[in-house]
Amino acid sequence: MDQLAALATFVRAVDHGSLSAAARSVPSSLTSVSRQISALERHFGTRLLVRTTRQLALTEDGRMLYERAKSILGELKEIEERLAGNRREPSGRLRVSAPALMGRLLIAPLLGDFLRAYPSLSVDLLLVDRNVDLIEEDVHLALRVGRMPDSQLVMRKLAEVQMIHCASPDYLARRGEPHTPADLAQHDCLVFSDAPGAATWRFGREANSGARIRISGRLWVNSLDALAVAAENGAGIVRVPSWQVEKQLVEGRLRRLLREHEPAPAPLNALYQPSRLGSTKIRAFIDFLVERWRRSDPLCR
């Protein structure tokens, strides 16, 4: 048995949801695919898949092998790309995840220029406000804001993000302007969260000091876009990245508050697996973002 070929067939079967779909993707025969899966199960002495009439289900051992096999095959692909890196330009498909609002406003507008610069590359941009599993979701590069816990992932700092507080002139005329973080207890605060409830806003330039104020807002939304619109229309005080509301601040639709109490900028990091360290397509994308953002400085103001 060719173990690498069998592992690749196993991963394709799981990704496509059936043995027949995996066979069509190569193309190969259904008999050949089934034989390779069975050989893997005999080799490892355990059942990997539960076959039903409609779909495949992974056993616990199958799930572990799928994740490791996908990583191993990815590492081999990256080795091929690294060895060929000096001979050809970046090519293939690059899967990137980023926070939804950042991806929509700061990354998507640049993709046209990026794709023109690298005609052999294709990009999948996954916009989600959660931490994706790079192996499980087959993501090559993840952009995340904030200080990262200890991790085996490779991390490169791209820029910094400044969170600010603002409200509409109409709201401030009605309720007055807060001068200290403690004053927020007397105000309507707008909370960004995946679920209703209180939030904690940190103030002060030092990461491990400063005030932490518990915010129990009258309005919570799981979209920063929607919160900014609500703040423009007098709903209360919002906490957002400075780049998101730059235009509203310039035009006077929002006013920046508590500037002397703002937290230190949070790092924006690019994360990827160590096995992809030599990937020319990842390096090309990161370098492109850094160069463009350094030129326009849209993130931290």
Backbone angles phi, psi at 213, to 5 degrees: -110, 125
The first and second tokens of residue 206, run together, are: 């030092």
Strands 189-192 and 163-167: unpaired
Q: 69 by DSSP, 3-state: which?
A: helix
Question: Structural domain tally of the chain?
Answer: 3
Look at residue 301 and tell me if it is in a domain.
Answer: no
Residues 32 and 70 in one domain: yes
List the one residue out of 33, 49, 30 whose CA is nearest residue 41. Answer: 49
Residues 172 and 257 in one domain: yes
Q: Which residues have C-beta within 8 Å of that of residue 76, sequence separation ≥ 6?
A: 4
Which residue range is the domain that position 170 belongs to?
163-261
Task: Write the CA distances from 291 to 114, 146, 246, 286, integer angstroms.
Answer: 12, 21, 21, 9
Q: In this structure, how many other beta carbons lie within 10 angstroms of the beta carbon of residue 256?
A: 13
Q: Which residues have C-beta within 8 Å of that of residue 243, sequence separation ≥ 6?
A: 105, 106, 161, 298, 299, 300, 301
CA 104 and chain centroid, separation: 12
Look at residue 152 and tell me if it is in a domain.
Answer: yes
Q: How far apart are CA 107 and CA 102, in angstroms?
A: 7
Look at residue 36 and tell me if it is in a domain.
Answer: yes
The first and second tokens of residue 172, run together, are: 């401030």
Q: How many CA atoms lie within 13 Å of 156's alpha carbon, on the beta-carbon side?
A: 16
pTM of the model: 0.64
pLDDT, residue 90, reads 84
Max Cα distance, the chain (Å): 76
Domain boundary, last residue among 40, 66, 83? 83
- Interval 148-207: pLDDT, tens: 765 678 888 888 889 999 999 999 999 999 999 999 988 999 998 877 767 888 898 765
Residues 110 and 235 in one domain: no
Angle, in degrees to the nearest 10, between helices 60-84 and 280-296: 80
Angle, in degrees to the nearest 10, between helices 30-44 and 60-84: 110
CATH label of the domain that carries residue 140: 3.40.190.10
Q: Binning pLDDT at 50, 70 and 90, where does residue 296 land? A: low
pLDDT, residue 65, reads 87
Dihedral angle of Cα 268, 261, 150, 197, to the nearest 10 degrees = -90
Residues 257 and 167 in one domain: yes
Query: To the nearest whole percent, how much of the chain has pLDDT over 70?
Result: 89
- Interval 61-85: pLDDT, tens: 888 888 888 888 877 876 776 666 5
Domain boundary, last residue among 31, 53, 83? 83
Which residue do the tokens 């876009």 mark? 225
Q: Which residues have C-beta within 8 Å of that of residue 89, sequence separation ≥ 6?
A: 118, 120, 280
Q: What is the mean pLDDT of residues 113-123?
A: 94
Residues 170 and 255 in one domain: yes
